Structure 1
Amino acid sequence: MSATCNVVVLLSGTGSNLQALIDSTRTGDSPVRIRAVISNRADAYGLQRARDAGIDTRVLDHKAFEGREAFDAALIEQIDAFNPQLVVLAGFMRILSAGFVRHYQGRLFNIHPSLLPKYKGLHTHQRALEAGDTEHGCSVHFVTEELDGGPLVVQAVIPVELHDTPQSLAQRVHAREHQIYPMAVRWFAEGRLTLDDRGASLDGQLLAASGHLIRH
């Protein structure tokens, strides 16, 4: 792994996880270099966050393409122009084609607002409350062809409190996302985190099915 790890971030929205990543690279000793931020929406506030930080931005409107494969092929071209070692999904609201996922095998990250494998997909906070869960949280995982199903890297666990609403849960989970996503990206950038046929490994040790657990 080179001294600097080039990262491209894909997003569709406000980019709060992007901001956490940008902030984490300002420590001076960070091996992470965010080369570009690409969005499928020109109005995504995350693009402004990138511009404010002096990071290259690109917009690729999925509506301008005939189908998912055509869009993903153009997206691959845009991403690869920046020669990234890692591609980070930070609220990118597109289901990616199998070809895209395979192209970035072992170097594509996502963060999901639940303790995977629970609550894949949407409305995770509501679903956790409806199920009467006592714990909830968020997960960073390698992306595979299975939606929200790739090997887990790290999970942050928070207690569900009696008065919680989906909004209050979302707020607390977000705060944890902003801690664990930069952590996972840094592990990868330092060469400590890898993915092979056996699964995800940290410092040469195979991670458990739940990934590295952090409790609060």
Structure 2
Amino acid sequence: MSVLKIGVLASGRGSNLQALLDACAQRTIPAAVAVVLSDRPDAYALVRARQSNVPAYHVDPAAYTGKEQYERELVRLLQAHGVELVCLAGYMRLVGSVMLQAFPRRIMNIHPSLLPAFPGLHAQKQALDYGVRFAGCTVHFVDEGMDSGPIILQAVVPVLAGDDEEQLAARILEQEHIIYPRAVDLFARGKLRLEGRRVYILD
């Protein structure tokens, strides 16, 4: 089986990037992280990439005249490294048309809620404020909306009495590190079929 080349976009500490790097290194998924890009120079995700001998670049959005030009540079770097699947891992920007056209149905994201509930920022706080009994995380294909693309996998986490945002986020993150590599594995093995909004997992 050929190895799927992944490009990761991250803005922060990169713990989901690390989960992907570990899964690739342990060969539990037929994939390899080919390049990591960040819109922030201080993102620890860049350090994680370099520690794993993965090419890592800071691409400063302020250095470009607009979103389209910025995304064209992202696409150039991703394609230069042979990327077949783009994984967003704490990437804090909406993906635009340039990226979506360059990688149609080949961009994934992970979000710390059971979508479509609580999209956007501070999903764990949104869940606590709403008073839900269960929270969780979702891996989905990216479209032009805010956390609105077709759902691939979800994991459920109970909300416990006395939970604060940090405690709930930590338990959700444990599940994120499980289901994100699993979703990439399914993609790499050709086990996902997208029809409209529904993602089918093939036997």
The alignment's TM-score, normalised by the length of structure 1, stands at: 0.89
Q: Label 1:198 to 1:126 Cα distance change in 2 as closer, same or farther (>3 A).
A: closer
Q: Percent identity?
A: 41
Aligned residue number for residue 122 of structure 1: 121
Shift of 1:54: 1.0
Query: What are structure 1's unaligned runs of at least 5 residues?
Result: 205-216
Q: Which moved more, 1:153-162 or 1:72-81?
A: 72-81
In the TM superposition, what are the counterparts of 1:47-196 in structure 2 within 5 Å? 47-196=46-195
Preserved CA contact (<8 Å) 1:106 1:196: no
In the alignment, the residues of structure 2 paired with residue 173 and residue 155 of structure 1 have an alpha-carbon distance, to the nearest angstrom, of 11
In the alignment, the residues of structure 2 paired with residue 29 and residue 68 of structure 1 have an alpha-carbon distance, to the nearest angstrom, of 36
Q: What letter matches 2:132 in structure 1? A: D
Q: Which moved more, 1:164-173 or 1:22-31?
A: 22-31
Q: What letter matches 2:77 in structure 1? A: Q
Q: Which moved more, 1:110-119 or 1:35-44?
A: 35-44
| Count of residue correspondences | 203
Q: What letter matches 1:86 in structure 2? A: L
Q: Which moved more, 1:131-140 or 1:60-69?
A: 60-69
In the alignment, the residues of structure 2 paired with residue 181 and residue 123 of structure 1 have an alpha-carbon distance, to the nearest angstrom, of 19
Secondary structure of 2:170's aligned partner: helix
Q: What letter matches 2:114 in structure 1? A: L
Secondary structure of 2:160's aligned partner: coil
In the alignment, the residues of structure 2 paired with residue 143 and residue 3 of structure 1 have an alpha-carbon distance, to the nearest angstrom, of 24
Q: Which moved more, 1:26-35 or 1:11-20?
A: 26-35
Q: Label 1:57 to 1:163 Cα distance change in 2 as closer, same or farther (>3 A).
A: same
Aligned residue number for residue 202 of structure 1: 201
Preserved CA contact (<8 Å) 2:149 2:197: no
In the TM superposition, what are the counterparts of 1:4-23 in structure 2 within 5 Å? 4-23=3-22
Shift of 1:198: 6.0
Secondary structure of 1:66's aligned partner: coil
Shift of 1:58: 1.5
Secondary structure of 2:173's aligned partner: helix
Q: Aligned Cα RMSD in Å?
A: 1.4
Shift of 1:166: 0.7
Secondary structure of 1:14's aligned partner: coil
Preserved CA contact (<8 Å) 1:38 1:58: yes
Q: Label 1:103 to 1:28 Cα distance change in 2 as closer, same or farther (>3 A).
A: closer
In the alignment, the residues of structure 2 paired with residue 51 and residue 127 of structure 1 have an alpha-carbon distance, to the nearest angstrom, of 34
Q: Label 1:134 to 1:29 Cα distance change in 2 as closer, same or farther (>3 A).
A: closer
In the TM superposition, what are the counterparts of 1:35-50 in structure 2 within 5 Å? 35-50=34-49
Q: Hey, which bits of structure 1, 4+ residues long, moved more than 3 A? A: 196-199
Q: Which moved more, 1:92-101 or 1:75-84?
A: 92-101
The alignment's TM-score, normalised by the length of structure 2, stands at: 0.95
Q: What letter matches 1:134 in structure 2? A: R
Preserved CA contact (<8 Å) 1:105 1:144: no
